[in-house]
Structure 1
């Protein structure tokens, strides 16, 4: 929750006592940090099953930290945005142009492009813009760097992914470029095989159903259900509205043609 500075309040930064409310004082250059301060580093905890809780020893470490580099980029964007606003105001109302406003604009555009890349990269496995305690090496590094200051962290989130219990270098660091390429190709090939299997099943399954139970009601219900399922999957995996619409329409057209053929054959019989 944001609150802004007012003349009735002399202290503009009470977020330490009340982390749920962040007071923004535009007279203080730290306001861009205040609105993101609690999201830079968070505490994470390992989610254990009942069996794991019994097996693990009492001294096993199940808490660590997570550093979000994307938050640092948001802070950088906010600082550039503030600088651009000030330079735009000076450009409008002063006779002389502010120094470096064109460079600031270029930096802002580049920072936006970098942040867009960060968002796209977050959709892929192994987000490099996190230093998180799920990985053994990151956990040891964070414990060393954060140290006793971790007690000051109040925001806590759940661990995502497997909690590593032994030191293991990431394959992308340990392997050669050829190994990384083959691993990426294999992972992509498996995903493509999965998509091909799902697409084939969505086409073959309703056709088999309409042939084995050759009734108009079965054809209409199966077509409606499978088109809805295909549209849902397209909405999940595709990002463009036009792509979702065109793919769903093409899939529906194939099933409608098959419904027409099966219905016509049944009437002829």
Structure 2
């Protein structure tokens, strides 16, 4: 039996819930454990230092898979001509749910990934840990799903799943200040180096510009999500540095003429 046939074994198109659960459960819940530094006197691997992490995004992917299977059946019935007017309202609703599920998943991808990902119910957070302790008191992962736990720093204070408006304002202010500092550094540092250190040395100026533009491009790729935005920001930054390179090139050409 091939890998594909093995993956499809047990799939019932009219009731795919069991098959979906089996295929997605590995990434649905995984163990986490408190990270204890080697210099700490706190004992490691105690019952209180173990918990779980539940992925809400994985639940969304399971929902999308179920809706997709239903739409496959709809497409087959329409192709065979066995669909009637009464079923149109039903599968139209399913199609709308699938589109909404895809949009919601895209939002999860955009919104998640931060330090307080709202689509993760994770044991390193105090509130989540208490909820998981109650909800999963007698729970154990199956042997085939029991992976090496993630080592995380345990929080001792209770925080809500999402930040408050005050926290958001402060966090955004700090982020803006950090962005301003980084942007200023990327402009001021090469400007000083090009004019104060490498003035008249065109090759050194080119190498310095190349390094800073490459570093800025990598930084933008890490921060921005849109490809065009990364390209535009990198091109704009390169254009600014090219002005200084042009001045240095003009100075290097003018120097021999002055000597003669």
Structure 1-normalised TM-score? 0.82
SS in 2 for 1:51: coil
1:199 corresponds, among 180, 183, 189, to 183
Deviations 1:159-207 (A, max 9, x none): 44x312x45243958xxxxxx3232122111111111111111111111
SS in 2 for 1:126: coil
The alignment status of 1:49 with 2:37, answered yes or no, reads: yes
Q: How far apart are residue 262 of structure 1 and its match?
A: 2.6
Deviations 1:40-80 (A, max 9, x none): 1111112221012x344785622111111111111111110
Q: How far apart are residue 234 of structure 1 and its match?
A: 1.2
Counterpart Cα distance in 1 of 2:68 and 2:161: 38
2:80 corresponds, among 75, 93, 99, to 93
Q: How far apart are residue 140 of structure 1 and its match?
A: 2.2
For 1:105, the equivalent position in structure 2 comes to 95
Relative to structure 1, the CA distance from residue 88 to residue 242 in structure 2 (aligned partners, 3 Å threshold; closer, same or farther) is same
Greater fraction of residues in helix: 2
Counterpart Cα distance in 1 of 2:210 and 2:220: 15
The alignment status of 1:250 with 2:226, answered yes or no, reads: no
1:155 corresponds, among 129, 142, 147, to 147
Retained in 2: the 8 A contact 1:134–1:159? no
Relative to structure 1, the CA distance from residue 58 to residue 31 in structure 2 (aligned partners, 3 Å threshold; closer, same or farther) is closer
RMSD: 2.4
Structure 2-normalised TM-score? 0.84
- The runs of at least 4 aligned residues of structure 1 exceeding 4 Å deviation read 57-60
The alignment status of 1:25 with 2:7, answered yes or no, reads: no
Unmatched 5+ stretches in structure 2: 256-260
Relative to structure 1, the CA distance from residue 93 to residue 60 in structure 2 (aligned partners, 3 Å threshold; closer, same or farther) is closer
